[in-house]
Amino acid sequence: MQSHPVPARPGRPRSAAADAAILAATREALVELGWSKLTLGDVATRAGVAKTTLYRRWAGKHELVVDAVAELFDALRLPDRGSLAADIEGVVLQFAAILARPEAKSGLMAVVAESTRDEALRDRIRTSIVDRQKRLVLEGRARAQGRGELPQSDPAESERTADLIFDMVAGAVVHRTLVSGHPADEEWVRGFTQVLLLGLAGAGAAAAGD
């Protein structure tokens, strides 16, 4: 009996080291050159790999950068700081710190731009990046409900509210960082979190009063 029915494909297996080297080289090139000047030939050279190896694994620049940037978001964790507000501030600050890095800045908006015309790319972004962030919203709410800070939510309403929260949080941080061009520092995050939480509380009360 074999629990893992390993496909055991014939031929030489793909180098696992190459993948890591390529993604690291991609981030390095993003930092130095930015999205528009990044070339796959250069990435291949930095990674010590042939261009063909790169094309064997990724369909193009966009897909590669999605994967390279996605790894940056692996570090996102929901901290337990004792209160909902503090938890949110913590995770938003982490998110802002990642977005402040040039490799994220450069690449993220570019792939989002492209994804407006590429269904497959949009899915890849959603799977690799967006959903990973969104999960934190759900975790945070569950923890706050455990603490009694939030009431149990109507499952039907729950999904909609989570989406709204996520768009408001991620949108505000991204916009401030990339469009307005100011840092999402601790002070800003505190102000933003206050508005968000008070607004949600008020809206919840209004809904309950209906």
Partner DNA sequence: CCGTAACCGAGACGGTACGTCACGTCTTGAG
Partner DNA sequence: CTCAAGACGTGACGTACCGTCTCGGTTACGG
Task: State which of residues 46, 145, 170, 183 lies at the interface with its own copies (CB under 8 A).
Answer: 170
Residue 171 as a binder of its own copies (CB under 8 A): the answer is yes
The answer to whether residue 34 forms part of the interface with its own copies (CB under 8 A) is yes
Instruction: Please pick, from the candidates 2, 3, 4, 52, the single residue that binds DNA as defined by CB under 7 A.
Output: 52
Number of residues located near its own copies, criterion CB under 8 A: 52
Q: In which region does residue 148 sit, left (phi positive, over 0), alpha (psi from -120 to 50) or beta (all else)?
A: left
**Which phi and psi angles does 155 have, rounded to 5°?**
-55, -35
122 binds its own copies (CB under 8 A): yes
Q: Residue 72 in contact with residue 104, Cβ under 8 Å?
A: yes
Is residue 198 exposed (0-12), middle (13-18) or buried (19+ Cβ within 10 Å)?
A: exposed
Does position 93 interact with its own copies (CB under 8 A)? The reply is: no
* Least distance CB 53 / its own copies (angstroms): 15
Q: List, in sequence order, the alpha helices (H) in the chain.
A: 16-33, 40-47, 51-57, 61-70, 84-100, 102-115, 119-125, 131-147, 155-174, 186-209
- Shortest reach from residue 70's CB to DNA, in Å: 19
Site stretch for its own copies (CB under 8 A), options 16-24, 66-74, 89-97, 103-111: 103-111
Q: Are 162 and 134 in contact (CB under 8 A)?
A: yes
171, 164 Cβ separation under 8 angstroms: no
CA gap 40, 42 in Å, rounded: 5
Residue 105's binding partner, choosing from DNA, its own copies, none, with beta-carbon cut-off 5 to 8 A by kind?
A: its own copies
Q: Using the rule CB under 8 A, is 178 a contact of its own copies?
A: yes
Q: Are 95 and 103 in contact (CB under 8 A)?
A: no
Compose the 19-48 pattern: x for residues touching DNA by CB under 7 A, - for all others. ------------------xxxxxx-----x
- Long-range contacts from 115-119, C-beta under 8 angstroms, 24+ separation: 115/62, 118/62
The reply to whether 56 sits near its own copies by the rule CB under 8 A is: no
Residues 6+ apart with CB under 8 A from 67: 23, 58, 128
Measured from the CB atom, is 43 or 125 closer to its own copies?
125
The footprint of DNA (CB under 7 A) covers 8-15, 18, 37-42, 48-53, 55-57, 60-61
Footprint of its own copies (CB under 8 A): 34-36, 102, 105-110, 112-117, 122, 125-126, 130, 160, 163-164, 166-168, 170-176, 178-182, 188, 191-192, 194-203, 206
